[in-house]
Amino acid sequence: MSHNFTISPTKLNQFTFHFQDFKNAILGVTEAPRITFPGGIEIGANVNVPQATEERKFQFRDDFSLQFDKHSLKFGVNYIHTKLGGFFFFGSRGYTVTFFDLPSVIATNTALYPLGFATPGAVQNIQFAAGEASHDQTLHQLAFYVQDDYKITPRLTLNLGLRWDANIGNLPDQTNNRTILLLQQLNHPLAQAITADPQKLSRSTPSWTEIQPRIGFAWDPTGAGRTVIRGGYGIFYDQLFQNLTLFGKSQADPEIYQTVLNLTNTAVGVGQLSAYRFGIDPLPAPPAGFNISNLAVGGFGRITDPDASEPYIQKFSLGFETTLGRDYTISSDYVHTLGIHESRVQVINPRIENICNALYPGSNPASPQCVRGVNSRLLDLAFVNAGLPANRLEQINMIGTTNRSLFDSWTTTFKMRKRGMLFSASYVLSSSRSWGGQPVASYTGNGIAIAPQNQFLPQEFGPTRFDERHRLVMSGVFELPWGFQIAPILQLSSARPYSPSTGVDIDGDGLGTIDRLCEGVSPLALLQSVIQTGAGLPSVSDRVRALNPRGCVQAPVNSQRSGFVVRSDGTIEERSGRFFNVDLRVGKNFRFGERYRLSTYADFYNLFNVENLSYANRFGLSPATAAGTFSQPFSLYGPGFGPPVGRPLTVQFGARFTF
């Protein structure tokens, strides 16, 4: 609902009220355990279900516009009241059983798996999760702004603006977070740094100082209206969205969703599940005395960084646009973007195998820190000194905003318009970089968490998985004789990078997901090793470790842009990861008198049937332990939450009749 009030020819007030009510529920379909294998193979229950989302929103906005002299002034206020509800299981509900190898390997490698799936220690990990994870929350979003388009001269205009935002209630109070309560009992520098300030733990508004100045200009150097030079700078804040903060919030609620059991083998037959026989022994029971209102011994801790801030960018641009003759236009713009306070998940209680495991160079297994031998974690000794079990908590994830990103692009566009012809071509030279190689303006998941001491290693900064150095796009509409029309569009871009990863823990922090190949190790050489089959071979993970020893310096993030295709005869072909696609529409109109028209068309997608292949999962990782997909085609080009970009040649016919 809106109301416009014209006060005078130069004054206008606009008031808007908006109401929105949203409800959604996704139900689970089975209570069976979730069973996972390398390469993303899963059977049984899905993660994140069941879940429900409820959102009720009221928005009040008022804008006042004023024209005077050389100024076009506008200022206003925006208030949004949001009531959020529902629940979300941010992982599996019930049991998850993970194997080291693919089913085909377990069934055929009798030397390593003499009893197949029932071989003692064949399982890599067993987890059990239970509880509820509600996300009831009330948010108040308040913003004020003022802007002015100031026409200094007929040829020069300044665009000036200032905005202030506050997202009140966007941070959950962590005073009663169970992980925080346990950390407060520890005499450890890390735990004390996190819990020392009660005001930070209880604050619910990320910041009251989100001041965002903006300035831009447009200059006509000749006064002929055919050329403009433009540029600008601004600060733009985003909002910490709930999919980040609900993890810490869930452990402050009366009933906690949590992983109450997490048992791991480091190799087949080695570790906490060394004697477990899948399909014969019952699944391990949760710890005795477990209470859903408290974190179980050995549970998974989740908190939000007390210093978390809302992300923002500083953006600068400079460019020009000019017309050439009557039919041609060319423009070119440079954009620089610096992302600050972007999200990264840190594991603040990592394993310390680099100290406690004799297989790591420079280790000291006799250290007092090694309370549980090779299974020891950073805070184990502090838990013991506080009179608690050494494994009072296992992994602790902290959602923080410690990341940064950089994006630079230079975009040049040429347009032509003639009788019976429209044509456009654009070229983009760009570079996208960040710590961890993720597009950190969006949430990238607990699954790729990193230990704090590794977050800012030199090799952690590099191109993001969406980085495309070059992109060319050409399109047009062309009228042909006999009433035919064709509209092609061509896209060509350089390959996106990814990280060939080991799939096993290399640095001793207990996190194998993001550990990359050792520096200097050839992905091709590793692929040749892991795809070998037959009895008597070491496990795939052992073959990975043979080329990637513990404690090595890892390769830079997202260092690979090509992949491989393994032929049926075992030979390996290297393939580019570039993207090339041509789509085409061919149409013809038929007229019947003055009132009737039949429009027919045929759409050709991927006209030349090019295989645009992606060699990594949606996190830009390709684990070597998944031998069947390591650095090999994982999906069509464009992996992510959305559908793939690529597709085989597809033809679609259609018609439209108008009268």
Max mean pLDDT among 23-27, 42-46, 212-216, 625-629 falls in 212-216
Alpha-carbon distances, residue 512 vs 263, 266, 394 (angstroms): 15, 10, 16
The one-character DSSP state at 534 is S
Token couple for 336: 């620089």
Alpha-carbon dihedral 39, 40, 43, 49, rounded to 10 degrees: 170
Pairing of strands 299-304, 393-418: parallel
Q: Which residue has the tokens 């790591």?
A: 360
pLDDT at 634: 86
Q: 450-477, pLDDT tens digit by residue?
A: 999 999 999 999 999 999 999 999 999 9
pLDDT over 60 (residue 509): yes
Max mean pLDDT among 287-301, 543-557, 642-656 falls in 543-557
Token couple for 574: 């290297």
The one-character DSSP state at 295 is P
Scored b (16 or more CB within 10 A) or e, 501-519 reads bbbbbbbbbbbbbbbbbbe
Section 170-196 average pLDDT: 96
Section 205-234 average pLDDT: 96
Cβ–Cβ < 8 Å for 240, 206? yes
pLDDT at 46: 83
Q: 273-332, pLDDT tens digit by residue?
A: 999 999 999 999 887 777 888 888 888 899 999 999 999 999 999 999 999 989 999 999
Report the chain's mean pLDDT, rounded to a whole number. Answer: 92
What number of other Cβ atoms are within 10 A of residue 543's Cβ? 19
Distance CA 460, CA 554 (A): 9
* Backbone dihedral region for residue 520 (phi beyond 0: left; psi -120 to 50: alpha; all else: beta): left
What number of other Cβ atoms are within 10 A of residue 63's Cβ? 16
